[in-house]
Copies of this chain bind each other. A is one copy, B any other.
């Protein structure tokens, strides 16, 4: 049943060779990898104006210079990541670049930041998408958390189906959003130019106001930088592109940056001109939409496409997280299971982990976008800083054609990003302090896992300082566990004789019903007269302790005879899976304790019921 359900939701397994076809064209890649970055404009301008309005309405014109600085940062980051794509075409992004150039530990800081960040991407995008819905349909207010969780699960299922199919599915919302926002900006600017909308800003650019200060400017800038989250996604996913992978990826990144810059500039300018003020009920973007389109069908289309792109922006995380987890697992910093590809060739464990993490974040923060954004920004700009400064080292090492010019570009990006991190810690500390707890914990976990894997590999190696001890057994001793005398017992004894030179049957009895115990012994001896039958008496209810004691004695004797020791647990399997819960789990419990013994193998003899 479960298998059919899985097939229905996830699709039929793909052959490993099908993998090549899962590559992305630029058009599809833009849809799959840019939704996070593009959708950031839905909340970026609002973050800036909210900071400014908290001081005074007169401060609102500051959004224009702040936006200009954000655009400069965007340009620097884009140029920087284009270089990274060409220099590291195998993907891995900030983690790869920082590890290679800054060394393992700073690489892990970048990797850890991004892991958490992708979870925040999913959480923030989905909750912001839900806010876009509730801006249009107030009746749904208060249902943010359940709506968000359902969306996360839907996106997770899409991703378990595999990369390409998700892309096809997600093109509609991404390109609808691009069309709607373009339309809104063009109509808005046309109306302004033709003089149909009057200038409504409280104060024009350049006027001084009370509270005007560099700190205010930096606060607003650091909040607005959340518009740039998601720009790095393309550089992590280079191997997903069609050949030539680096060129296609770099072109896609450039296209995305241009669209993003145009949207952010246009929206901020309209917000300034219209004199929009953020409030708790209707988002800034929705307010601009109403001013531009009126309360008609176009406004609802705008909200719908915003909600859809935000909901699927989460998808950027679902493309990038499993890839990063794969890279960390390959380097033995995360569990190997993140390297297992699912039936549909996606890294299922990464996809599921991300969804679980995002749902937990949504639940903890009760679906409140604003609380999550500063932490989200720190998680993004720490790896930005590390990867861009790492690139300077890279250029210096290579010293190829024009390396100084390239280094300068990366240096500008690194300096602005690094400054942003400092500003976020200085001016938004109440929201970003969890970073200082999460990161050390993650790094500790990475290092601990790494140490364990290296430890295990050393112990398992055939050739090492400690020479391997091969054993040439002269026979085998077999213990058959008997709870009662049935066809299962008979089959297990027959099997035991085929593999064992010495077979002994063992039964654990309790005080409660001595006649029953005697009957079991008599039945066994009647059916198997030539097999030794040992009845172990237990004063406790536990069957495991006396079994262990007996096994230890027999195993010791076997060792003296140079025998191997096998314990056979006879078990019948009912016809239908659910019926297993009807039979006692004793054999399961026994296996769980017996596996602690050295030189003892545990064998399960299965008797399959036919009805």
Contacts and interface: CB of A to CB of B under 8 A. Distances in A.
A56 interface: no
Interface stretch (A202-210, A247-255, A273-281, A489-497): A489-497
Contact of A541 (B16, B573, B591, B610): B16
Interface string A503-536: 0000000111000000000010001000000000
A16 B540 contact: yes
Interface majority SS (helix, strand, loop, mixed), chain A = mixed
A460 interface: yes
A472 B494 contact: yes
Interface stretch (A68-76, A225-233, A547-555, A582-590): A582-590
Nearest to A341: B541
A603 B602 contact: yes
A498 interface: yes
Given A486-B460, A527-B462, A600-B606, A498 B563 contact: yes
B498 A542 contact: no
Interface in A467-512: 468, 470-473, 475-476, 478, 485-488, 490-491, 494-495, 497-500, 510-512
A394 to B, nearest CB: 28
Interface string A434-478: 000000000000000100110110011110000010111101101
Given A452-B579, A584-B336, A595-B606, A494 B471 contact: yes
A456 B542 CA distance: 25
A199 B39 CA distance: 72
A500 B500 CA distance: 9
Interface string A568-611: 10001110000101111100000100011110111111111111
Copies in the complex: 2
Interface residues on A, range: 35 or more
Contacts of A370: none
Contacts of A542: 13, 343
A505 to B, nearest CB: 15
A352 interface: no
A568 to B, nearest CB: 8
Nearest to A473: B498
A15 B375 CA distance: 55
A175 B340 CA distance: 61
A224 to B, nearest CB: 38
A487 B471 contact: no
A503 to B, nearest CB: 12
Nearest to A585: B337
Contact of A540 (B343, B462, B487, B488): B343
A601 B603 contact: yes
Nearest to A345: B541
A311 B108 CA distance: 50
Given A13-B542, A512-B16, A582-B449, A606 B601 contact: yes
A468 B603 CA distance: 23
A564 B460 CA distance: 30
A475 B499 CA distance: 7
A476 B475 CA distance: 13
A359 B130 CA distance: 30
Nearest to A455: B611
A357 interface: no
Interface in A279-316: none
A215 B603 CA distance: 69
A609 B490 contact: no
A405 interface: no
B453 A582 contact: yes
A89 interface: no
Nearest to A17: B511
A572 B460 contact: yes
Interface in A3-60: 13-17
A539 interface: yes
A566 interface: yes
A342 interface: yes
B595 A573 contact: yes
A336 B582 contact: yes
A539 to B, nearest CB: 5
The 4 residue pairs across chains A and B that have the minimum distance between CB atoms: A473-B498, A603-B603, A460-B486, A498-B564
Given A456-B583, A460-B607, A498-B564, 20 more contacts: A13-B541, A13-B542, A15-B539, A15-B540, A16-B541, A335-B581, A460-B487, A462-B486, A462-B523, A462-B527, A471-B494, A475-B498, A499-B499, A591-B604, A596-B608, A597-B606, A600-B606, A601-B604, A601-B606, A603-B603
7 contacts: A16-B538, A342-B541, A459-B610, A461-B487, A470-B494, A495-B564, A598-B606
Interface of A: 13-17, 335-337, 340-343, 345, 449, 452-453, 455-456, 459-462, 468, 470-473, 475-476, 478, 485-488, 490-491, 494-495, 497-500, 510-512, 523, 527, 538-542, 563-564, 566, 568, 572-574, 579, 581-585, 591, 595-598, 600-611
